Amino acid sequence: MQTEVMLTGIGGQGIQLCAKTLAIGATDEGRQAMLSAHYGGEMRGGQTEASVVVGDGPLRALPILPSTWSALVMHPAYWAPVQAKLRPGGVVVANATLLDEAGLDAGDRATFLVPAGDIAAGLGAPMSAGLVLLGAYAAVTGLVGLDALIAAMTRLVPPYRSQHIAKNEAALRAGHDTLPALAAPAWTEVAA
Q: What CA–CA distances, in Å, run from 187 to 36, 56, 91, 93, 142?
A: 21, 9, 12, 17, 8
**Structural domains of the chain, count:** 1
What is the bridge-based pairing of β-strands 110-114 and 2-10?
unpaired
User: 13: domain range?
Assistant: 2-176
Residue 189 belongs to a domain: no
Torsion angle of C-alpha atoms 92, 97, 102, 108, degrees rounded to 10: 10
Q: Could you tell me which residues come within 8 angstroms of residue 166 by beta carbon, excluding any fewer than 6 positions away?
A: none
Report the pLDDT value the prediction gives residue 56, as an integer from 0 to 100.
Answer: 92
**Would you report the helix, strand and coil content of the chain in percent, each value rounded to 5?**
40, 25, 35
Average pLDDT taken over every residue of the chain: 92
pLDDT digits (tens, 9 = 90+) for 161-181: 999 999 999 999 999 999 999
Q: Domain for residue 183, yes or no?
A: no
- The model's pTM is 0.94
Nearest to 19 by CA among 126, 97, 134: 134
